[in-house]
Structure 1
Amino acid sequence: MSLFRTLQHSPATISIFHNAKVPASASLYKILDKSYWKLNEEKSQFQVDLMANQMPTYDQFNLIYHQCLHNQTHKDILRDCFPFMRDQRLSTNKNSSITVTSPIGLLANAKGGSGNLKVFLEGEYSMIYEAFNSLVNDPTPDVNPANLFLAPLVVDWDQNLIANNEESLSVILNKYKADITDAGLSPA
């Protein structure tokens, strides 16, 4: 828990960028919601910020990119949530193909974290964000919005951790289980 939040006595914020139509997202939301009620009796540990059918804003993406990519697992989570950022093999004709390396692909090969690489300029991300919003709000989109952003993405802004599956979510929630145990309470 940060010193500022300790002084304020405010709970941490865990955001879930969620799509109920995606089974993995529904499963993580169920676990997160259950943990909120089970680990958080006084609602002082954390609050859940449900971001249904939304992708991170540019500022949120920047925070995630610059503060939450601690290891290869976190880089893989980010790549999984933004499918267009993966390396892609494109055929130019019958006999040849090229591989387009994504900025995150380059990031994965960089040593020591995210370095100074920039994935998107604000204008580029704004176009992606607007396209996603128009697709997700269209009842019959021409392109699946999951090609731009694939939920779930869970972000613990206090711990600078991200998750997109049960294993990585348990890493986030373990901190709150430990806080309850340290306080002499039972996580039940």
Structure 2
Amino acid sequence: MKTLIGAARLAAALALLPAAAGNAGAAEPIRAFKAAAPPIIDGSLSDPLWREAPSVTGFTTWRPDFGQVVPDPDQTIVWFAYDAENLYFAFRAPDSDPARIQASVARRDTIISDDWVCINLDSFGDKQSLYAFYVNPRGIQYDSRYAAGTEDPGFDVVWYSAGTIDTEGYSVEVRIPFKSIRYDGGDPVRMAVV
């Protein structure tokens, strides 16, 4: 397991694919953006990094209606970046009826009945295993690992998140240290976010 990698080795190696693209092979990968400075993980999205990093939208729902296309005013936007030690993600999830947002103040790993955003990180690029990082609108976490079609919900790693709810929806920021995940080495390191 590699725990830290040089930023140059990760450059242009992460790919984020919109779920709405259907066949993942049909989507054009978006390369990760190298952060000049780490963002403050506070859920506000005011950090300059999120104005520079690439974004993606066009996602579909998972629960309760799998595969449903989200209407334009409520389309989630995701930004992502990296530095020598971390992966960074920011989510803006507009909601035309923010009173409907489900966001409990709960213990870690107990948010599945809430609204949430999720990062599915295929760190080996094998399409057989992944890390799942869920965050509710208040920044509460749930993480698990999938391998050979089986989920390990007891899996816990160190990562950081924050969320804020406002009158137009919610925002979430995430920092995942490379030392918290396993991945194949290489030059460059390749991972997929699906």
| TM-score band, normalised by shorter chain | under 0.3
Which structure: larger Rg?
1
Task: Provide the TM-score with structure 2 as the length reference.
Answer: 0.27
Going by fraction, where is helix more abundant, 1 or 2? 1
